[in-house]
Every structure is written in structure tokens, then in C-alpha cells.
């Protein structure tokens, strides 16, 4: 098969995949917290290919790299991931016939490793001694050893990461009929927060955008980062932050239990963290429509959930 045919094949597959990315439902939070004239909604982001919000940026980053010629079937996609972006890369890569290598943190769940292996991704888990930024450092070592072999997608500095969430925000604005007053999201790569905040503030400068961070460096909020200044992603835009709220592990565990019992949703830690933040915002306003995102569901965290639900 010649190069032209391969390129056409990949582009056709990209077009087919686009119908399975995004357009997720907006779930009304009805029972865990109630307040007159205050509504909380969450985007159910596990209802798309790859089962998480990270399918949005993964798809757009891969698509852009193919369009610019930086990525083809002869190169291997490589990146550091806490799991969800890696799963999205692996899902998309498998469909496109592009190999994927992932460097994962020491605390990644067993379920995510199993999923990645099933998707035929080449994975490497870094030791705890590498520190919180160990995965990224390891990627750089591998790429430096053979730059022609890999395409380092680098979700922490890739502008397509946050740009992908212009579509998320457009969905939110449409689904709330323009009534959204607050957007709340945890910070990891900051793509979700940055992209949604940029778009929503362009629609209405009065919309408040609240960033969430873990209360401690070591935490159970998979995918979130405790920003120190030294580890702030290149795509992060602090000028978009109207307020920052810290979320602790106990709050996350409590929300997971309460949401399962009252809303019929079993959430991942990061989804529970986002809801905890949204509820904190709700308690401090008299009127408004608060929107957050549920990045993924419980299915990648059975071993973790077993521990907290048995407490």
C-alpha cells in the first residue's frame, strides 16, 4: 500500500471517529444538594469513545498531528498519562493502526493498566522515586534517545488540548440555553478548565470560572495536580481563574458514597472532586447555574472504590 493510500485511509478513519467524540449529556444533580434558585449540572463524559473526557483532546491532538504531517503510521505516539488520556490514545491509535507507548505514574490503578494492555499499548510504569513529574521526565529520556521513532504528543503543552474543549463549552452553553453562570473543574493538564473557561467567557464575560486543586500534594484525585509554580503546564492560563478551591480526600470519599446513594451515580475520584467543588460554589451563591464535568466513571477504579466503600 503506497503512502498516499495510507494517508487517505487514516483521514477517512479520523472522519468516522469524529462522530463518537463529545456530544455528552448534561446530568442534573437533584438530590445530594438542594438550594432554591441554584442548579448544578455535570457533563457525563464517560459516554463517548474511550470512556472519558480525555477522548476530546486526544482525538484533536492526534488529528492535528496527522494533518500537519508530524504523525503517520511509521511513528509511535508517546506521552505521559495518569491513565485516561493514555486509554484515549490507545483506543484511537488501535482504530487508526498507529502504535502507542505510554509512561504511567506509580499510583495508576490496576484497572487502567489492564485496559491499556488490552488495547495493545506499550506501557511503562515509573517508580515513585521519580517524583510527581517522573512520567514526563521519562518520556523525554526515551524521545531523546530516538527522536525519529516517536511523536511526543505532550498533552501538557499541546494547544489542541485546551482548544478541544471549545466544543465542550459550546455543548454546555447550548444545553443550558445560555444560562450557565459558573463553570467548575479540577486542574491536571488544565486543558478542560482553560478551554471551557476561554469559550464561556467569550460568550458571557460575567460567567465565573472556578479552578479546583487537591488540598495536599499526595492525594486520591487521579489526574489532578497540586500546582507549585514549577509544575504548572504551559497551556494553563491563570488569568481565567476567578477563584480557586481546594478539595481534600475526605470530601472526595464522602461525595462518592453520597452520590451513589442519592443520585444513582458511582463516580471516579476526579468526578467526585469536581462535584464537591460545585457544591461549595453553590453554598456561596444565591442564584445561578453551575456546570462541572464528570471526567470518567467508576469502572477504572474498582480496587480503589472497594477500599473506601468498605470503610
Residue 160 counted as domain residue: no
Is residue 160 helix, strand or coil?
helix
**In the chain, how many domains are there?**
2
User: What value, to the nearest 5°, has the Cα angle with vertex 143 and ends 138 and 148?
Assistant: 165
What's the pLDDT at 131?
57
What is each CA distance from 96 to 99, 153, 156, 272, in whole angstroms?
9, 16, 23, 33
What confidence tens digit (pLDDT) does each residue in 148-163 have?
999 999 999 999 999 9
- Counting as low any pLDDT under 70, the low residues of the chain are 1-6, 129-132
What's the pLDDT at 309?
78
What's the pLDDT at 5?
53
What's the pLDDT at 1?
43
202 and 268 in one domain?
Answer: yes
What's the pLDDT at 132?
54
Domain-terminating residue out of 90, 125, 152 = 152
CATH number, domain of 191, equals 3.40.50.1100
What's the pLDDT at 281?
99
217 and 134 in one domain?
Answer: no
136 and 94 in one domain?
Answer: yes
Strand ranges, E, within 126-173: 150-152
Pairing between β-strand 38-44 and β-strand 288-294 as defined by DSSP bridges: parallel
pTM summary value: 0.92
What's the pLDDT at 48?
96
Amino acid at each position: 500500500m503506497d503512502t498516499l493510500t495510507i494517508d487517505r485511509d487514516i483521514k477517512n478513519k479520523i472522519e468516522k471517529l469524529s462522530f463518537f467524540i463529545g456530544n455528552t449529556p448534561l446530568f442534573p444533580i437533584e438530590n445530594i444538594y438542594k438550594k432554591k434558585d441554584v442548579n448544578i449540572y455535570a457533563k457525563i463524559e464517560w459516554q463517548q469513545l474511550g470512556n472519558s473526557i480525555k477522548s476530546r483532546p486526544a482525538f484533536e491532538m492526534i488529528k492535528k498531528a496527522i494533518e500537519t504531517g508530524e504523525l503517520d503510521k511509521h511513528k509511535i505516539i508517546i506521552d505521559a498519562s495518569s491513565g485516561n488520556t493514555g486509554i484515549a490514545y490507545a483506543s484511537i491509535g488501535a482504530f487508526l493502526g498507529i502504535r502507542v507507548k505510554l509512561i504511567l505514574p506509580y499510583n495508576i490503578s490496576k484497572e487502567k493498566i489492564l485496559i491499556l494492555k488490552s488495547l495493545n499499548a506499550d506501557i511503562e510504569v515509573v517508580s515513585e522515586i521519580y517524583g510527581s513529574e517522573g512520567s514526563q521526565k521519562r518520556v523525554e529520556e526515551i524521545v531523546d534517545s530516538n527522536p525519529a521513532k516517536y511523536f511526543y504528543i505532550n498533552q501538557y503543552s499541546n494547544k489542541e488540548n485546551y482548544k478541544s474543549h471549545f466544543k465542550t463549552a459550546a455543548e454546555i452553553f447550548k444545553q443550558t440555553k445560555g444560562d450557565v453562570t459558573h463553570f467548575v473543574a479540577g486542574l491536571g493538564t488544565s486543558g478542560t478548565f482553560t478551554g471551557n473557561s476561554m469559550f464561556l467567557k467569550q460568550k458571557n464575560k460575567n460567567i465565573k470560572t472556578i479552578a479546583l486543586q487537591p488540598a495536599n500534594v499526595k492525594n486520591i484525585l487521579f489526574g489532578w495536580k497540586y500546582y507549585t509554580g514549577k509544575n504548572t503546564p504551559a497551556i494553563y492560563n491563570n488569568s481565567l481563574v476567578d477563584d480557586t478551591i481546594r478539595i481534600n480526600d475526605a470530601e472526595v470519599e464522602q461525595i462518592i458514597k453520597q452520590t451513589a446513594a442519592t443520585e444513582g451515580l458511582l463516580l471516579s475520584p476526579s468526578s467526585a472532586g469536581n462535584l464537591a467543588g460545585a457544591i461549595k460554589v453553590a453554598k456561596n451563591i444565591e442564584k445561578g447555574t453551575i456546570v462541572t464535568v464528570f471526567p470518567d466513571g467508576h469502572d477504572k477504579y474498582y480496587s480503589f472504590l472497594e477500599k473506601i466503600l468498605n470503610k
